[in-house]
Amino acid sequence: MSRSSLSGVYAAAVTPLRPDFSPDLDAIPGLLSFLAGRGCHGALLLGTTGEGPSFSPAEREAIWRAAVKVRDQHPEFRLLAGTGTPSLTETIDLTRLAFDIGFNAVVTLPPYYFRNASEDGIFNWFRELISGAVPADGSLLGYHFPGVAGIGFSIELLVRLKDAFPAQFEGIKDSSHDGLFAKQLGERFGPDLVVFSGTDSDFTLALQSHAAGCITAPANLISPSLRQIYDVYSDGNNTAELQQRVTDKRHALEKFAPFPPSLKALLHRLYGLPRWPVRPPLVEMSDVDEDRAVAELA
Protein backbone atom coordinates (compact mmCIF):
# COMPACT_ATOMS: atom_id res chain seq x y z
CA MET A 1 0.00 0.00 0.00
CA SER A 2 0.99 3.60 -0.55
CA ARG A 3 1.40 5.37 2.77
CA SER A 4 0.39 9.00 2.48
CA SER A 5 -1.05 11.45 4.97
CA LEU A 6 -4.21 11.15 2.87
CA SER A 7 -4.41 7.32 2.91
CA GLY A 8 -7.74 5.79 3.85
CA VAL A 9 -11.39 5.32 3.00
CA TYR A 10 -13.37 8.29 1.69
CA ALA A 11 -16.99 8.74 0.70
CA ALA A 12 -17.72 10.67 -2.45
CA ALA A 13 -20.38 12.46 -0.46
CA VAL A 14 -23.84 13.37 -1.70
CA THR A 15 -24.80 17.03 -1.37
CA PRO A 16 -27.80 17.77 0.88
CA LEU A 17 -30.34 20.01 -0.86
CA ARG A 18 -33.50 21.81 0.16
CA PRO A 19 -36.79 21.34 -1.73
CA ASP A 20 -35.95 24.39 -3.88
CA PHE A 21 -32.64 22.69 -4.89
CA SER A 22 -30.50 25.12 -2.90
CA PRO A 23 -27.72 23.61 -0.76
CA ASP A 24 -28.88 22.58 2.72
CA LEU A 25 -25.85 24.02 4.49
CA ASP A 26 -27.07 23.12 7.96
CA ALA A 27 -27.27 19.43 7.01
CA ILE A 28 -23.75 19.10 5.63
CA PRO A 29 -21.81 18.77 8.93
CA GLY A 30 -24.32 16.17 10.13
CA LEU A 31 -23.91 14.08 6.98
CA LEU A 32 -20.12 14.21 7.32
CA SER A 33 -20.33 13.29 11.00
CA PHE A 34 -22.48 10.29 10.02
CA LEU A 35 -19.79 9.22 7.56
CA ALA A 36 -17.03 9.71 10.13
CA GLY A 37 -18.94 7.54 12.57
CA ARG A 38 -19.13 4.76 9.98
CA GLY A 39 -15.40 4.47 9.41
CA CYS A 40 -14.60 7.08 6.78
CA HIS A 41 -11.27 8.82 7.15
CA GLY A 42 -12.72 11.67 5.13
CA ALA A 43 -15.00 12.73 2.30
CA LEU A 44 -14.86 14.26 -1.15
CA LEU A 45 -17.22 17.23 -1.50
CA LEU A 46 -18.69 18.14 -4.89
CA GLY A 47 -17.34 15.28 -6.93
CA THR A 48 -19.57 13.44 -9.39
CA THR A 49 -21.74 11.93 -6.64
CA GLY A 50 -21.95 15.36 -5.01
CA GLU A 51 -23.33 16.81 -8.28
CA GLY A 52 -20.35 19.17 -8.37
CA PRO A 53 -20.76 20.54 -11.92
CA SER A 54 -24.33 21.59 -11.05
CA PHE A 55 -23.18 24.26 -8.56
CA SER A 56 -21.93 27.79 -9.04
CA PRO A 57 -18.62 28.97 -7.54
CA ALA A 58 -20.52 30.85 -4.82
CA GLU A 59 -22.54 27.74 -3.95
CA ARG A 60 -19.39 25.63 -3.84
CA GLU A 61 -17.78 28.05 -1.44
CA ALA A 62 -20.80 27.96 0.86
CA ILE A 63 -20.86 24.14 0.80
CA TRP A 64 -17.14 23.91 1.59
CA ARG A 65 -17.37 26.40 4.43
CA ALA A 66 -20.24 24.40 5.91
CA ALA A 67 -18.25 21.18 5.55
CA VAL A 68 -15.31 22.28 7.69
CA LYS A 69 -17.66 22.52 10.67
CA VAL A 70 -17.52 18.73 10.91
CA ARG A 71 -14.13 19.17 12.54
CA ASP A 72 -15.80 20.57 15.65
CA GLN A 73 -16.75 16.94 16.42
CA HIS A 74 -14.18 15.09 14.27
CA PRO A 75 -10.96 17.14 14.19
CA GLU A 76 -9.03 14.59 12.14
CA PHE A 77 -11.69 14.16 9.45
CA ARG A 78 -10.12 14.90 6.08
CA LEU A 79 -11.82 16.95 3.41
CA LEU A 80 -11.22 16.81 -0.32
CA ALA A 81 -12.74 19.35 -2.71
CA GLY A 82 -13.84 18.65 -6.26
CA THR A 83 -12.57 21.70 -8.15
CA GLY A 84 -12.41 20.77 -11.83
CA THR A 85 -14.27 22.81 -14.45
CA PRO A 86 -13.58 23.39 -18.16
CA SER A 87 -12.46 26.94 -17.26
CA LEU A 88 -8.82 27.21 -16.20
CA THR A 89 -9.44 30.53 -14.45
CA GLU A 90 -12.44 29.23 -12.52
CA THR A 91 -10.60 26.06 -11.56
CA ILE A 92 -7.64 28.07 -10.28
CA ASP A 93 -9.97 30.25 -8.21
CA LEU A 94 -11.85 27.26 -6.77
CA THR A 95 -8.68 25.33 -6.01
CA ARG A 96 -7.06 28.25 -4.24
CA LEU A 97 -10.28 28.82 -2.29
CA ALA A 98 -10.47 25.19 -1.15
CA PHE A 99 -6.98 25.37 0.33
CA ASP A 100 -7.73 28.76 1.93
CA ILE A 101 -10.83 27.29 3.62
CA GLY A 102 -8.75 24.44 5.04
CA PHE A 103 -9.32 21.42 2.80
CA ASN A 104 -6.65 18.74 2.85
CA ALA A 105 -6.48 18.27 -0.92
CA VAL A 106 -8.33 18.88 -4.16
CA VAL A 107 -9.56 16.34 -6.71
CA THR A 108 -9.56 17.88 -10.17
CA LEU A 109 -11.03 16.70 -13.45
CA PRO A 110 -9.18 17.62 -16.63
CA PRO A 111 -10.99 20.28 -18.72
CA TYR A 112 -13.72 17.86 -19.73
CA TYR A 113 -15.53 19.95 -22.34
CA PHE A 114 -12.48 19.80 -24.61
CA ARG A 115 -12.48 16.09 -25.33
CA ASN A 116 -10.02 16.38 -28.22
CA ALA A 117 -7.39 18.24 -26.22
CA SER A 118 -3.87 16.90 -26.71
CA GLU A 119 -1.77 15.57 -23.85
CA ASP A 120 0.48 18.61 -24.24
CA GLY A 121 -2.59 20.81 -23.80
CA ILE A 122 -3.79 18.94 -20.72
CA PHE A 123 -0.28 19.02 -19.23
CA ASN A 124 -0.11 22.79 -19.82
CA TRP A 125 -3.54 23.23 -18.20
CA PHE A 126 -2.48 21.38 -15.05
CA ARG A 127 0.88 23.17 -15.01
CA GLU A 128 -0.89 26.52 -14.88
CA LEU A 129 -3.38 25.25 -12.29
CA ILE A 130 -0.78 23.80 -9.93
CA SER A 131 1.58 26.76 -10.30
CA GLY A 132 -1.24 29.23 -9.74
CA ALA A 133 -3.31 27.59 -7.01
CA VAL A 134 -1.68 24.69 -5.17
CA PRO A 135 0.56 25.72 -2.26
CA ALA A 136 3.98 24.13 -1.86
CA ASP A 137 2.62 21.83 0.84
CA GLY A 138 -0.72 21.26 -0.93
CA SER A 139 -1.91 18.10 -2.68
CA LEU A 140 -3.78 17.80 -5.95
CA LEU A 141 -5.25 14.50 -7.14
CA GLY A 142 -6.15 14.21 -10.79
CA TYR A 143 -9.65 12.83 -11.29
CA HIS A 144 -9.44 10.01 -13.84
CA PHE A 145 -13.01 9.31 -14.98
CA PRO A 146 -12.86 8.98 -18.77
CA GLY A 147 -16.21 7.21 -18.99
CA VAL A 148 -17.95 10.40 -17.85
CA ALA A 149 -15.46 13.21 -18.50
CA GLY A 150 -14.52 11.93 -21.94
CA ILE A 151 -10.81 12.49 -21.27
CA GLY A 152 -8.44 11.18 -18.63
CA PHE A 153 -4.83 10.58 -17.71
CA SER A 154 -2.50 8.25 -19.60
CA ILE A 155 0.45 6.69 -17.82
CA GLU A 156 2.73 8.98 -19.84
CA LEU A 157 0.82 12.11 -18.79
CA LEU A 158 0.96 11.04 -15.14
CA VAL A 159 4.73 10.58 -15.43
CA ARG A 160 5.10 14.10 -16.84
CA LEU A 161 2.97 15.66 -14.12
CA LYS A 162 4.66 13.73 -11.33
CA ASP A 163 8.11 14.65 -12.62
CA ALA A 164 7.16 18.33 -12.92
CA PHE A 165 5.38 18.55 -9.56
CA PRO A 166 6.62 15.64 -7.42
CA ALA A 167 5.02 16.93 -4.22
CA GLN A 168 1.96 18.91 -5.31
CA PHE A 169 0.72 16.44 -7.94
CA GLU A 170 0.25 13.71 -5.38
CA GLY A 171 -1.74 11.20 -7.42
CA ILE A 172 -5.16 10.36 -8.84
CA LYS A 173 -8.63 9.19 -8.06
CA ASP A 174 -9.02 6.30 -10.48
CA SER A 175 -12.65 5.93 -11.50
CA SER A 176 -11.86 4.22 -14.79
CA HIS A 177 -13.31 0.91 -13.49
CA ASP A 178 -10.41 -0.72 -15.32
CA GLY A 179 -8.56 -3.37 -13.31
CA LEU A 180 -5.75 -3.52 -15.87
CA PHE A 181 -5.14 0.22 -15.49
CA ALA A 182 -5.02 -0.18 -11.70
CA LYS A 183 -2.33 -2.84 -12.13
CA GLN A 184 -0.40 -0.66 -14.59
CA LEU A 185 -0.38 2.21 -12.12
CA GLY A 186 1.10 -0.04 -9.46
CA GLU A 187 3.70 -1.50 -11.82
CA ARG A 188 4.82 1.91 -13.12
CA PHE A 189 4.78 3.98 -9.94
CA GLY A 190 4.70 1.59 -7.00
CA PRO A 191 3.81 3.54 -3.87
CA ASP A 192 5.17 6.83 -5.24
CA LEU A 193 1.90 7.85 -6.90
CA VAL A 194 -0.97 8.15 -4.42
CA VAL A 195 -3.89 6.32 -6.03
CA PHE A 196 -7.44 6.13 -4.69
CA SER A 197 -9.71 3.53 -6.24
CA GLY A 198 -13.13 4.73 -7.29
CA THR A 199 -14.41 1.19 -7.82
CA ASP A 200 -15.47 -0.71 -4.70
CA SER A 201 -15.35 -4.06 -6.50
CA ASP A 202 -11.65 -3.49 -7.33
CA PHE A 203 -10.62 -2.21 -3.90
CA THR A 204 -8.46 -5.16 -2.89
CA LEU A 205 -6.90 -5.29 -6.37
CA ALA A 206 -6.05 -1.60 -6.06
CA LEU A 207 -4.50 -2.09 -2.62
CA GLN A 208 -2.42 -4.94 -4.01
CA SER A 209 -1.22 -2.46 -6.65
CA HIS A 210 -0.05 0.04 -4.00
CA ALA A 211 -3.22 2.17 -3.84
CA ALA A 212 -3.57 4.45 -0.82
CA GLY A 213 -7.28 3.81 -0.32
CA CYS A 214 -10.59 4.47 -2.02
CA ILE A 215 -12.98 7.33 -2.76
CA THR A 216 -16.33 5.87 -3.79
CA ALA A 217 -20.00 6.72 -4.11
CA PRO A 218 -21.26 3.53 -2.38
CA ALA A 219 -19.12 4.47 0.64
CA ASN A 220 -22.07 6.69 1.59
CA LEU A 221 -23.82 3.40 2.43
CA ILE A 222 -21.15 0.71 2.86
CA SER A 223 -18.16 2.52 4.37
CA PRO A 224 -17.92 0.12 7.36
CA SER A 225 -17.23 -2.74 4.95
CA LEU A 226 -14.70 -0.71 2.97
CA ARG A 227 -12.95 0.33 6.18
CA GLN A 228 -12.81 -3.31 7.22
CA ILE A 229 -11.09 -4.26 3.94
CA TYR A 230 -8.64 -1.39 4.42
CA ASP A 231 -7.81 -2.36 8.00
CA VAL A 232 -7.59 -6.10 7.37
CA TYR A 233 -5.38 -5.62 4.32
CA SER A 234 -3.18 -3.16 6.24
CA ASP A 235 -2.67 -5.87 8.87
CA GLY A 236 -1.50 -8.30 6.18
CA ASN A 237 -4.56 -10.53 6.26
CA ASN A 238 -6.77 -11.97 3.54
CA THR A 239 -9.68 -9.81 2.37
CA ALA A 240 -11.26 -12.18 -0.18
CA GLU A 241 -14.49 -12.81 1.73
CA LEU A 242 -14.88 -9.17 2.72
CA GLN A 243 -14.20 -8.06 -0.84
CA GLN A 244 -16.82 -10.42 -2.27
CA ARG A 245 -19.50 -8.93 -0.02
CA VAL A 246 -18.52 -5.41 -1.08
CA THR A 247 -18.44 -6.43 -4.73
CA ASP A 248 -21.95 -7.86 -4.46
CA LYS A 249 -23.25 -4.62 -2.95
CA ARG A 250 -21.50 -2.49 -5.55
CA HIS A 251 -23.01 -4.54 -8.36
CA ALA A 252 -26.44 -4.29 -6.75
CA LEU A 253 -26.19 -0.49 -6.56
CA GLU A 254 -24.95 -0.21 -10.14
CA LYS A 255 -28.37 -1.41 -11.29
CA PHE A 256 -29.80 1.89 -10.02
CA ALA A 257 -27.44 4.43 -11.55
CA PRO A 258 -26.87 7.33 -11.51
CA PHE A 259 -25.75 7.28 -7.92
CA PRO A 260 -26.84 10.68 -6.52
CA PRO A 261 -30.61 10.00 -6.52
CA SER A 262 -30.31 6.36 -5.45
CA LEU A 263 -27.87 7.06 -2.63
CA LYS A 264 -29.97 9.94 -1.31
CA ALA A 265 -33.07 7.74 -1.33
CA LEU A 266 -31.27 4.86 0.39
CA LEU A 267 -29.60 7.06 3.00
CA HIS A 268 -33.11 8.13 3.97
CA ARG A 269 -34.65 4.67 3.75
CA LEU A 270 -31.90 2.73 5.52
CA TYR A 271 -30.43 5.26 7.95
CA GLY A 272 -33.11 7.87 8.53
CA LEU A 273 -31.31 10.84 6.98
CA PRO A 274 -33.53 13.44 5.30
CA ARG A 275 -34.79 12.58 1.82
CA TRP A 276 -32.73 15.18 -0.03
CA PRO A 277 -33.67 15.96 -3.65
CA VAL A 278 -31.25 16.02 -6.58
CA ARG A 279 -30.76 19.05 -8.76
CA PRO A 280 -31.99 18.87 -12.37
CA PRO A 281 -31.18 17.40 -14.83
CA LEU A 282 -31.07 14.44 -12.40
CA VAL A 283 -34.43 13.04 -11.30
CA GLU A 284 -35.58 11.38 -8.10
CA MET A 285 -35.46 7.63 -7.61
CA SER A 286 -38.91 6.09 -7.97
CA ASP A 287 -40.57 4.28 -5.07
CA VAL A 288 -40.54 1.07 -7.09
CA ASP A 289 -36.80 1.30 -7.73
CA GLU A 290 -36.18 2.21 -4.11
CA ASP A 291 -37.96 -0.95 -2.97
CA ARG A 292 -36.02 -3.00 -5.50
CA ALA A 293 -32.70 -1.50 -4.39
CA VAL A 294 -33.39 -2.26 -0.74
CA ALA A 295 -34.21 -5.85 -1.65
CA GLU A 296 -31.06 -6.17 -3.79
CA LEU A 297 -28.83 -4.86 -0.99
CA ALA A 298 -30.41 -7.23 1.49
173 counts as catalytic: yes
Q: What pTM, to 2 d.p., does this model score?
A: 0.96
Residue 291: CA count within 13 A, CB half-sphere: 3
Q: Active site residue: 10, 49, 162, 173, which one?
A: 173
For residue 298, name the pLDDT band (cuts at 50, 70, 90): confident
Helix segments in 209-258, DSSP class H: 219-234, 240-254
Residue from 260, 286, 272, 218 nearest 55 by CA: 260
Instruction: Give the chain's end-to-end CA distance (angstroms, integer).
Output: 31
Q: Report pLDDT for 206.
A: 97
10 counts as catalytic: no
Structural domains of the chain, ranges and CATH numbers in brackets: 8-239 (3.20.20.70)
For residues 170 and 152, what is the distance between their CA atoms, to the nearest angstrom? 16
Q: Active site residue: 112, 143, 230, 233, which one?
A: 143
Cis peptide before 258 (omega within 30 of 0): yes
Residue 235 has pLDDT above 70, yes or no: yes
- Please answer whether residues 65 and 101 qualify as being in contact, where contact means their C-beta atoms are separated by less than 8 angstroms: yes
Report strand pairing: 194-197 vs 169-174.
Answer: parallel
Q: Active site residue: 48, 83, 108, 216, which one?
A: 48
How large is the average pLDDT for residues 83-111?
Answer: 98
